[in-house]
A and B are shown apart, each in its own frame.
Chain A
């Protein structure tokens, strides 16, 4: 299977700051998703983004499929953005998850 590397592993931000999370894949994927895991453990869909750029409010994502990476941008962070962010890429039938970025936003 493919390896999925997420960086940074941990991130602490002051409320209002911006951040960029990165996801690198060891091989090509044919689709890619970003998730936010809430404190109760549920994975919440943020973006389904095989390529290109999408925006949803304060969050946006860019996937450069030819270079096998994706970026998640969080602007004007809020305390409710805290949690773990995962990317996952599909190749063939399988989804491969990264180990996540743990984000803490302090007031």
Chain B
């Protein structure tokens, strides 16, 4: 399969806790992007990290990228019930715009 892997496949935590999701990929990339999907609707773009970047922040989100290990992580701090969704990583190869998606992590925040 060309798709990357994400772990865990499902994560359930209490509101206020931090959530960490991991993504691994197989080929050299230009960038890696994280998305949120609520209940099978469209994808919401969260953050993009380029291959020459190691860490990006956006609000309560922190993304890291380790190109030597071909892996990335998404940290959501101080989780809220509204963060309940599926989260996907997607990679774009060098010189390409099309994306290869990971399998996704289903995150549940319990009130």
A, B in one complex: no
- Which residues does A use to contact B, with CB under 8 Å? none
